[in-house]
Structure 1
Amino acid sequence: MEKSTWVATPNIAVVKYWGKKDNYLNIPNNGSISVTMDETLSTRTTVEFSPMHKKDELVLNGQFARDTELARAVKVLDAIRKAAGIKERAHVESENNFPTAAGIASSASGFAALACAGADSAGLQASEKELSIFARLGSGSACRSVLGGFAEWKVGSKKNGSDSYAVRVAPAEHWLELRNVIAITDSKRKKTGSAEGMELTTATSGLYSERVRTRPEIIRLMKGAILRKDLPDFLELTMRESSHMHAVMLDSFPPIMYLNDVSREIMWSIHEFNKSKGKICAGYTFDAGPNAHVYTVEKYANEVERMLRGISGVQKTIVCRSGNGPRKLSDMYALF
């Protein structure tokens, strides 16, 4: 067993999962589709299994992790230990180059990096399917970040989650012109975590069952738009899907409100932008947080970024392309 360091990147869902069949195994109620970002946004993680470590430890952005964060990491490490037939504890250090827990999918990149580095350190020659399942145990959306490009998370039907993992819809190079222009409106940790929010929605929203029932058709339409590189269809589906998820959040009781006034201003500005162009050429999506992810293509990316920067309350913009997924780094990039 050797120390291993990997870098992974967030994915931003264009058909989103919200709610789980199994909270411990992170098995979703509905499937989802995402785009994995390039290394403009990334998490670097170093893992070492060793007899020297008396317990599992996780250092996140220079600070020892909270108990809840460590418990999620241990679920992944336990699954890797079981698969590898080892008992050694692990020391893990992880760093993000972007805000944590603010709706930019830091958990997705973090647990994808942990799954890849952990499996490698344990000496496993793990398949993408196995890595996706390992990552899912820490964070559901992380199962998609194990893959580059466009990924679909299959719900599966087995209670043990062995058929709930991500598969590739298309590689990153399929749609090289695609851009995600991110508008940071609030980089603070959100008040309601995703896991807590999902439980509240599934328990109290009257709209939720209809969302679950209709997602398979939305996934079918979204996959078609991606494979055809049909920008207007892709963007309209993306915006409608984002609003649908936030509608069921708002229908929860008490209501869950991740969007802020700046988020809503961005939404209206995108519609005005598209109106000025006479077609849909930019489309927003919001995860469980107020920061906007505006998909467009290279031709319009600079205009979209300028428009977003002109909105009061937008603190920062970041432009990403689709990325190729996790990769191993040399020991010179290890965090310890």
Structure 2
Amino acid sequence: MARKADPTAPSGILIVDKPAGMTSHDVVARVRRLARTRKVGHAGTLDPMATGVLILGLGKATRLLTWITGETKAYLATMRLGATTATEDAEGDITSARGCAALSDAELEAALAPLRGDIMQVPSSVSAIKVDGKRAHALVREGVEVELPARPVHIGCLASSGEPRQTTMTINEADAARDIPVVDCDLVVDCSSGTYVRALARDIGEHLGVGAHLTALRRIRVGAFALDEAHPLADLEEIARTHEESGATDRPPLPIMPLNDAVRAMFPELVLNERETELFAHGQAPRRQGGELEALREQAGEEPIAVIAADGVTVMGLAHIVNDAVKTILVFS
């Protein structure tokens, strides 16, 4: 017998500032416990080392995650020039240590410039991409050499943030430890979904002939959702703890963005009349033509449109324009 839906279950978007040292799945598991619901998913994995914006969908909003995952993203990254690692970040073993004694602004810019715009990027081998049914990162851990095909990505911004910093790095070798000169560079990255910032660092290091890896990565934006809207996981756990200690038995008041607000923040709107609202509830898309249809097409392009009920507030679902008609994508029942 199917389990009845819980009418009190939360539904919306929760923007978490993920801490370092946790997987995205770890965060989902914590929020399931805090929100007392199983229906929680995330829109785009962050590596354990990375911090920042992790979008979680709860309840009906899990159906939005496909579109949030495909949104552009922005990062602050720190790249270390002079050494490469097996994982292309600071968590992996050193695989080469050529060192980097100095770096001019002109040299750095010459390495960044070819990576802007529409490029073909070879993803990081330590990624969740599947190869013959297995995750690439799992194959790498098993000692399998993984070669992934290049794929198109768009780099809207790739720029240095601040002056490069000369420092040293201790390399532990079989017989002794030695220090090598390295250069740390802070970068600002704005990119399409599917871009690997680790791979950008790898390619910059290869261009300069010294190798590179990431030492820090912080996601500051996913689509319309920015870091200033994100809540540290520790704060969410404190809200739940305080709520429980007060003797309350209902769900803790987590700062979940309601489904209506989340959808309207993401997509242009189409407000229905009373009759269209009734029909859309059964999946029938509204009819638009002429100048009204063209105005919608200009706003949305190929992106979805938020379909709003006649009350002007309630989000009914999503639609898009196909040829010369509005077509239903999904209905939030």
TM-score range, shorter chain: under 0.3
TM-score norm. by structure 2 comes to 0.22
> Which protein is richer in strand relative to its size?
2
Flag the structure with larger Rg. 2
Q: Which has the higher contact order (CA 8 A, sep 6+)?
A: 1
> Which protein is richer in helix relative to its size?
1
